[in-house]
Structure 1
Amino acid sequence: MGVFPDFDGLGGIGDLKQVIGALLTVVLIVAVLMIVVSAICWALGASHGNPSLASKGRIGVLVGIGAAALAGAAVAWMNWLITLGSQL
């Protein structure tokens, strides 16, 4: 008696790749907008002598950069998992 994996049981990998690509696009657009708005707040806070606004802007820029990096890493990881799963 042989037991073999069902390779047709995981249909829709192409749809999953499209959904992941769309989510990456949305996350990157939001991250770039967050970086732009936070950089403007950081510049205004620094130029007008408002350390609270400057620090919140700086934190926003760092969070936006981190979110963009994590989104890119998550997509690369998911593509690696899809490739690994198709090789089983």
Structure 2
Amino acid sequence: MDVFPDFDGLNGIGTLKEVGGALLMFVLIIAVLMLIISAICWAIFASHGNATGAAKGRTGVLVSLGAAILAGAGVAWINWLIGIGGQL
């Protein structure tokens, strides 16, 4: 028995896929820009001895890395679930 989701069963599913891909692109671009800005702030504040600013820059770097990882992992997770669904 071959079970696979029918992506053509709904009207506008192609548009929904395009919107999802565009949103993922925006998330990744913003995460990379946030990573660059936070890393620069972290370096500047650390070199001037401002521990509070350096901690906020470090937090920004970690949050941006987490956002990029979650965005990429979300796509992999959905593909994995679709693959598992085909095996049921």
Could you say which TM-score interval applies, normalised by the shorter chain?
0.7 to 0.9
TM-score (norm 1): 0.75
Q: Tell me whether 1:42 sits opposite 2:49 in the alignment.
A: no
Structure 1 vs Structure 2: percent identity of aligned residues?
70
Contact 1:35 1:64 in 2 (8 A): yes
Give 5+ residue unaligned stretches, structure 2: 1-5
Are the structure 2 counterparts of residues 62 and 76 from structure 1 closer, same or farther at C-alpha, using a change threshold of 3 Å?
A: same
| Counterpart residue number, 1:56 | 56
Greater relative CO, 1 or 2 (CA 8 Å, sep 6+): 2
- Structure showing greater Rg: 1
CA RMSD between the two structures: 2.7
Query: d(CA) in 2 for partners of 1:56 and 1:49?
Result: 13
Q: Which amino acid aligns with 1:34?
A: M
TM-score (norm 2): 0.75
The 1:10–1:77 alpha-carbon spacing in structure 2 relative to 1, beyond 3 Å, is farther
